[in-house]
Amino acid sequence: MLFQISLIIFSFIFMEIVAFLSHKYIMHGFLWNWHKDHHQSVRKRFYRNDLFVLLFASPAILVMLVSQIFPQMKNLIFVGIGITLYGFVYSLVHEVLIHRRFGSSPSFRNSYLRAILKAHLVHHRSRDKDADGPFGLLIVSPKYFKKQS
């Protein structure tokens, strides 16, 4: 059981690295056409950027499917669970708390959540493909904690 829990935790943490690299090199790279409406100030119900949910859910679905088809790879289900949990947390933080896509969100009294918000807003200052600033979401540079007032 400890091994399976470790797979979930490792997969969850690894997904932050994948998210950073995907955001920087895919979303701000060859799939910028999908992502650019996310950097525009126009508020819509659906964005082309929302297609990434389908793209990034694919690895979780694939490893869970493989774990069910091949009994010798049954522990892959826990990798899929870790990926899915990361996607859920990412969506909750990014869509609900930061961008308030589903109405209002709770205030950011927690210093960690405020640091995530500040880092994300720094990234969003740029409206073009060559944006700089943080590309990750859950791992935040200490400098964003220092900027708290």
Which pTM value belongs to this model? 0.87
* pLDDT score of 87: 95
Over residues 10-51, the pLDDT tens digits come to 999 999 999 999 999 999 999 999 988 888 777 777 888 889
Q: How confident is the model at residue 134 (pLDDT cuts 50, 70, 90)?
A: confident
The mean pLDDT value of the chain amounts to 87
Residue ranges of the domains in the chain?
A: 2-107
DSSP structure string for the chain? -HHHHHHHHHHHHHHHHHHHHIIIIIIIIITHHHHGGGGSS---S--GGGHHHHHHHHHHHHHHHHHHH-GGGTTHHHHHHHHHHHHHHHHIIIIIIIS-TTS------SHHHHHHHHHHHHHHT--STT--S---SSS--THHHHT--
